[in-house]
Amino acid sequence: MNNQHLILNNVTKQYGTQKAVNDVNLALHAGECVGLAGHNGAGKSTMMKLILGLIRPSSGSITLFGEDISRGHSAAIRCQMGYLPETVALHPSLTGKETLDFYAKLKGTDLAHNHALLERVGIAQSAHKRVGAYSKGMRQRLALAQALLGEPKLLLLDEPTTGLDPASRQMFYQIINELKQRGATVLLSTHALAELDGHADRIVVMKNGHKVADGNMHELHIQSGLPTKIVAQLTHETALPEHWQVSGCLKYETQCAETEKMARLHELGSLDNVAQLDIHTPTLDEMYAEFLKREDV
């Protein structure tokens, strides 16, 4: 069975002379959480709007759940999607429950599930409070509940954790995990890159409308070309190749491409020779900075 929920095939979206999304290819699979990173204006929101069918591609095609949606979505496809926009405008005089009921009616989902949904995002006790009296975190939780209506198979979240406290972020990623386990696909854009480590299965980096990197942490490390640093404290004097530099008493360090790491470790010989070993891989922020330095786009 094809587990690709979404396929973007050479998708470009042009406004006048500017290409907000430029020849992007992307496939998202069932049960996958993909982080979408990029500076302001990189094309992240435009990509989400294209997937949602709010705008149409200037060229290229988009396939969602096996259906070509480049010229519009069917109602059946729309029901399988959930969207949390970057800025959520909720009516301040409605209560949390009334707000969710309103969106459920729009989406045609069963209102009977709404209380459980409010419980799931942790605001059931404030269900009858006016949204105008909610904190920013509570409003974001309510907006997330709205996006979860009807158990969507594809969830698009535009900077969902901005302004959330650590406990709310944790709850948020817990819900994403549950969705993934049920086979849903999550595409999440963020500026808080470090947060994606451990939560996103893959990260896509956008620059000036182009996709400049795509992969899991290990693949991004290889794509970035940044070195891995290995520091070894040995138990006794050992002859090592000259790319190992002395950095202390019986302490050696070397830098190499990620793909050479295992070969370098083998050079240390038996593990009995090694008292301590530290392997430093670049952080996601360092890799991201490296991708954005590239001048080819």
**Dihedral (Cα; 262, 265, 267, 272), 10-degree rounding:** -140
Q: Which C-beta is closer to ligand ATP: that of 98 or that of 195?
A: 195
* Closest distance to ligand ATP from the beta carbon of 289 (Å): 16
Residue 20 binding ligand ATP, by CB under 6 A = yes
Residue 12 binding ligand ATP, by CB under 6 A = no
Q: Which stretch binds ligand ATP (CB under 6 A): 33-41, 67-75, 117-125, 244-252?
A: 33-41
* Closest distance to ligand ATP from the beta carbon of 20 (Å): 3
Q: To 5 degrees, how large is the angle CA 206–CA 192–CA 214?
A: 35
Q: Which of 56, 45, 77, 38 is nearest to 206 (CA)?
A: 38
Q: Which stretch binds ligand ATP (CB under 6 A): 14-22, 119-127, 162-170, 281-289?
A: 14-22
Please report the sign of the dihedral spanned by the C-alpha atoms of residue 128, residue 134, residue 137, residue 142.
positive
Please report the sign of the dihedral spanned by the C-alpha atoms of residue 54, residue 59, residue 63, residue 69.
positive
Q: Which C-beta is closer to ligand ATP: that of 44 or that of 153?
A: 44
- Binding residue (CB under 6 A) for ligand ATP from 35, 38, 96, 282: 38
Q: Which C-beta is closer to ligand ATP: that of 46 or that of 185?
A: 46
Residue 87 binding ligand ATP, by CB under 6 A = no
CB distance 159 to 190 below 8 Å: yes
For residue 281 the two structure tokens come to 């891989």
- Binding residue (CB under 6 A) for ligand ATP from 8, 32, 44, 84: 44
Residue 45 binding ligand ATP, by CB under 6 A = yes
* Closest distance to ligand ATP from the beta carbon of 158 (Å): 7
CB distance 228 to 280 below 8 Å: yes
Residue 22 binding ligand ATP, by CB under 6 A = no
Q: Which of 223, 290, 227 is nearest to 255 (CA)?
A: 227
CB distance 185 to 63 below 8 Å: no
Q: Which residues bind ligand ATP (CB under 6 A)?
A: 15, 18, 20, 38, 40-46
